[in-house]
A and B are shown apart, each in its own frame.
Chain A
Amino acid sequence: MAILQSPAGKKTAWTLVDIFVIVYALFPVLWILSLSLKSSETLADKSFFPTDISFEHYETIFSADVSLFIRPLINSIGISVIATLIAVVLGTMAAYAIARLEFPGKRALVGVSLLIAMFPQISLISPLFEMERALGLFDTWPGLILPFVTFALPLAIYTLSAFFREIPWELEKAAKMDGATPGQAFRKVIAPLAAPGVFTTAILVFIFCWNDFLFAISLTSTENARTVPAALAFFTGASQFETPTGSLSAAAVIITIPIIVFVLFFQRRIVAGLTSGAVKG
């Protein structure tokens, strides 16, 4: 990078880099979009771009019963958002304590969350299922939110405490010496410094929840709580032996749209948060 000294050369170089990153990131997305737009007859034509645009697969999934796709989409959004809120709030509290306070049991706490982060989730399925049946949580939103929060917490705590450790807390003291109340010091100094970390964490946690496949398929049985990744397994082809490639691709594209919207929405905050920088002052 340093070789290119002229501003124009730098610009060209960066544009090339950008294009490379964009192609890298979008390649599989475009492919599944292309598949979803191919008609049944041309589905197997192996061309990267569809030769004729057809919306038949979209019609298929939206004209089917709501329980097939629409309801799971609502479940996915609701469950992931609630789980994210809970995990980020609880995670922030715990991470603040870990990063800032001295207390016995800190190591145990870090140890416990490490344990949970490490545990193979697959082995929790059977006992968790029995627990949830007994408590009436099976196939409900809370039944998925609980394990989502549990497994997102280690991620939230780690990421947040790494952020909090980097915050120059002496600024808080400086503000107080300048006459700010503890509340003002927190609002005006600490909260803006912590916000980028919290938002980044929220994104990570949301995506973790949105992604989950194993819990969703094990702890739900109807459209009550079934999320989209689990619902994909319920799509059917023309016969039991045929893969519903077209409708799978269409559903994949649809459930990618909220992600893109979400990423756009939060991306601005991350950019603002991270570039205005924690340690610039």
Chain B
Amino acid sequence: MAGSLLTAAGVVAGCSSEADNVVTLYYALEQYVPHIVATCNEEANGEYQIVHRQLPRDADGQREQMVRRLAAGDTDLDLLGLDVTWVPEFAEAKWLAEWTGEDKASVEEDTLEVPLKTATWDGKLYAAPMNTNVQLLWYDKSLTPEPPKTWEEMIEMSRDLKAQGKPYQILYTGAQYEGLVVAFNSLVNSAGGQVLSDDGTEVTLDDKARRALEIMRQMVDEGLNSPSLSNAQEQQVVDSFSPGDSQAAFQINWPFVYAATRDAKSPRFENLAWTTYPGVGDNPGRVTVGGFNIAVSAYSEKKDLAFKAARCLRQAKNQKYAAICGGVPPTLESLYKDEEPIAPCDGDTSGKRQSMVDAYPMRDDILKSLKTAAVRPLTPVYQNLSTVTSKILSPPGSIDPQATLEELREELNNAVQSQGVLP
């Protein structure tokens, strides 16, 4: 009985095999993706046809689905949308095809250096940057007309505001998840340190990391964060800042804050201002880079078509559409100077033709941040590193700079060697 069931099922599955020119794209469902897929399919004129297979909303879910299938040598996957932290892992596991020759040259042209670094592992290019992202410091210009340049200044301003009974809180992503790792990485790099050595084999947390931990602890001790710091992800951060009676004066968050605050009809929108990530002491701010890369699966049976399709998907006009209609900053430097409006976004009934200038009033600060941005540690075991780091740093109020530093060193060492148990 079970046997016949199996056979029947096999026949059903067998029917769904695809045409030879179909290239599958495994990518999170973001509203700009259907548009750029359609654009490329039209341009390809039958040479290839990209079919978008949606991935879940959350990053862990996306990675999990792709990893499970790649580990089984699945040939159905052609193009993969990868978070910037996954490239070393996928490359080391031999799941990605290397970009070479003309394909490689096309990716290197005009692409910003830091995003490109996230697509590179072991000196080889394994992916092409699709979009990028950096956090900015958002503040209320009615409270602090002149924004702080360093964390020390920000803490002082916050303290003063609190004493005056004005909104004072410093918001950042302090929940036990990737966002806390980003926050920590930005602080460590801004203090002049680094989490791992460049080749990803050694833990290099030192006095500078200690300084980062001290800042995180100090804010909690002085009550300058929101009481719900240890529950705050990007959404909570922006939602705690928006209400008219919010106690927040500063938030470290991604550029979506601008549109989100505007769309929520927040009374604070008119005073919302931004600047680059603050430094630590004499060191300039170095913010952690985010974003997505696109890669070709090593198991793909249509690699040539896949490379072509990937190049199309990330070409300037598609990145521009994604930036304006999807809110993801481009990886091509020239687009930051581009002022040409595009046709109205799909589904936008107002018929508004927007340009980069309309959508990204903060584009100069994004570009400036990108030039000096820090990457998260490049290592195949990034996932372990991240899980352990967020566990140890959570909640930020429990940080004891020296002890936490030592714990981080030891546990990260284990993680880098893929030993030990994840929390």
Q: Which residues of A contact B (CB under 8 A)?
A: 40-41, 44, 67-68, 125-126, 129-130, 133, 135-143, 146, 217-218, 221-222, 224, 233-244
Contacts and interface: CB of A to CB of B under 8 A. Distances in A.
B14 interface: yes
B260 A239 contact: yes
Given A238-B259, A241-B238, A242-B234, 7 more contacts: A137-B9, A233-B57, A233-B58, A236-B31, A237-B57, A239-B260, A241-B256
Contact of A241 (B54, B72, B235): B235
B28 interface: yes
A211 B414 CA distance: 38
A238 B263 contact: yes
B29 interface: yes
Nearest to A125: B68
Interface range, B side: 35 or more
A243 B65 CA distance: 20
B402 to A, nearest CB: 33
Contact of A140 (B12, B74, B260): B12
15 contacts: A136-B10, A136-B14, A141-B9, A142-B6, A142-B8, A143-B9, A146-B5, A217-B56, A233-B57, A233-B58, A238-B256, A239-B256, A239-B259, A241-B238, A244-B57
Interface of B: 2, 5-6, 8-10, 12-14, 16, 28-31, 53-58, 61, 65, 68-69, 71-72, 74, 233-235, 238-239, 243, 253-254, 256, 259-260, 263-265, 327-328
A125 B67 CA distance: 13
A144 to B, nearest CB: 11
Given A67-B54, A233-B57, A238-B263, A243 B13 contact: no
Contacts of A126: 68, 71
Nearest to A222: B53
A129 B68 contact: yes
A135 B30 CA distance: 32
A239 B56 contact: no
Contacts of B233: 241
A126 B93 CA distance: 17
Nearest to B62: A233
B9 A236 contact: no
Contacts of A238: 256, 259-260, 263
Contacts, number: 96
Given A238-B263, A241-B254, A217 B61 contact: yes
A217 B71 CA distance: 17
Contacts of B14: 136
A122 B327 CA distance: 36
B57 A236 contact: yes
B56 to A, nearest CB: 4
B139 to A, nearest CB: 19
Contacts of B238: 241-242
Contact of A44 (B69, B239, B265): B239
Contacts of A129: 68, 72
Contact of A234 (B2, B57, B68, B72): B57
A217 B65 CA distance: 8
Given A130-B72, A243-B235, A221 B256 contact: no
Given A137-B10, A142-B8, A233-B56, A242 B260 contact: yes
A125 B58 CA distance: 19
B61 A138 contact: no
A138 B54 contact: no
Contacts of B12: 136, 140, 142
B173 to A, nearest CB: 9
Contacts of B234: 241-242
B231 to A, nearest CB: 13
B264 A41 contact: yes
Contacts of A40: 263-264
Contacts of B264: 40-41
Nearest to A138: B13
Nearest to B347: A63
B235 A135 contact: no
Contacts of B53: 221-222
Contacts of A235: 57
A84 B261 CA distance: 47
B253 to A, nearest CB: 8
Contact of A135 (B6, B58, B65, B256): B6
Contacts of A67: 54
Contacts of B68: 125-126, 129, 218
Contacts of A137: 6, 9-10, 13
B406 to A, nearest CB: 33
Given A137-B6, A142-B5, A238-B263, A221 B30 contact: no
Given A136-B13, A221-B53, A236 B29 contact: yes
Given A129-B72, A233-B61, A240 B13 contact: no
A21 B8 CA distance: 46
Nearest to B265: A41
Nearest to A243: B235
Contacts of A233: 56-58, 61
Contacts of B263: 40, 238
A234 B29 CA distance: 7
Given A41-B264, A146-B5, A241-B254, A133 B72 contact: yes
In the A-B complex, the 3 residue pairs with the closest CB atoms: A241-B234, A136-B13, A142-B9
Nearest to B173: A241
A12 to B, nearest CB: 44
B10 A135 contact: yes
Contacts of B327: 239
A244 to B, nearest CB: 8
A237 B235 contact: yes
Given A237-B235, A238-B259, A238-B263, A135 B69 contact: no
Nearest to A226: B54
B256 A242 contact: yes
